[in-house]
Structure 1
């Protein structure tokens, strides 16, 4: 009817990923060869502060074989920490929104397309798991995963306003055995 005239479409900016700059902070540290008990208390620290996020991104970009990629959707980053002999970061974890369609998962859950559309936000994915290469501590990876399964529901609730019910992960069997799971 010609009653409304829309403006012309605005040109879209090309989305560019910010390059992660490696600094001295993320350089390899002296090797730590010890038992889990010798590290004292192992905890997971949610990474939210801008300086910590920058350092987390830098560690993962520098030391994870897949490097850093900005997560899509809801995400939560952790530092794996120990308190002995002094507070120190031992690694990094990232959980984010799950992939839309995964046949094996969908079959295992036994949901159809409608169920998946309604509940996919309740499934989160462990996108990055990094124990620094200079850390040689048997059972540390399993300990970190055990801790995260106990605290992520509350942390996710705080950050995103709901509680996930399932965590999925993928293990590149050309790189790892996946025995810590």
Structure 2
């Protein structure tokens, strides 16, 4: 084991993070397989692999893939209903692997790398898969890690899983509870993910026709609530005869 006191003190301002090149894939896989406590086979779903560098030296690796199909704490925090959840899971990326390479361990490097990666994750995802990422998530084994680097990088701890896994569409109990962490990549991420209709951000900036037949009007995620909490009445009090929500809905 490397003595951390003998490691070089790195200038964190010089750290860069980028997606790996095609010819670097085998090296990334081998390092992750060798040094990560879970080993490595592959990432799940749409995925991107990143490398963090200090000059030309590889210092950390990150792997992002598909979000967990279900997660109680995350789903309650977002506030979405099942129809929106299943349609919009692709706007969440799961940090399935994160590794600081043994010879590169130095204070605050992990949170610096996470922060740099999150700055570009959504744009890289849009370039590769034609849609943005609004929320990052990860699951941390509390018997091994406290999640300190995620907290330092602005992530939110939502709670703890129940210790279930999913294989081939079937859930099973494995008893390994993990802490649930999320990091919004957009200020309105939960509202956009839970809304009864697609935000223009999810449609590449253009609004398509709304599915009127299935549009919910009442409830916490209904149209009335959305308009009441996001649209300010610009009219002066004098002369107002009609509720502005009624005016908007008629329009």
Aligned partner of 1:70 in structure 2 is 42
Would the aligned equivalents of 1:40 and 1:82 in 2 still touch at CA under 8 Å? Answer: no
Query: Within 2, Cα distance between the matches of 1:30 and 1:157?
Result: 41
Q: Does 1:163 align with 2:122?
A: no
Per the alignment, in what secondary structure is the counterpart of residue 73 of structure 2? helix
Aligned partner of 2:7 in structure 1 is 33
Which structure has more RCO (C-alpha within 8 Å, separation ≥ 6)? 1
CA positional deviation for 1:29: 9.7
Aligned partner of 1:46 in structure 2 is 19
Q: Does 1:96 align with 2:96?
A: no
Specify every segment of 5 or more residues in structure 1 that has no aligned partner in the other structure, as ranges: 1-27
TM-score normalized with structure 1 length:
0.77
Q: Structure 1 runs of 4+ off > 6 angstroms?
A: 28-32
TM-score normalized with structure 2 length:
0.56
Specify every segment of 5 or more residues in structure 2 that has no aligned partner in the other structure, as ranges: 151-251
User: How many equivalent residue pairs?
Assistant: 149
Query: Within 1, Cα distance between the matches of 2:52 and 2:39?
Result: 18
Cα RMSD for the two superposed structures? 2.0
Bigger radius of gyration among the two: 2
Task: Tell me: CA distance 1:29–1:59, structure 2 relative to 1, closer, same or farther (3 Å).
Answer: farther
Aligned partner of 1:18 in structure 2 is none
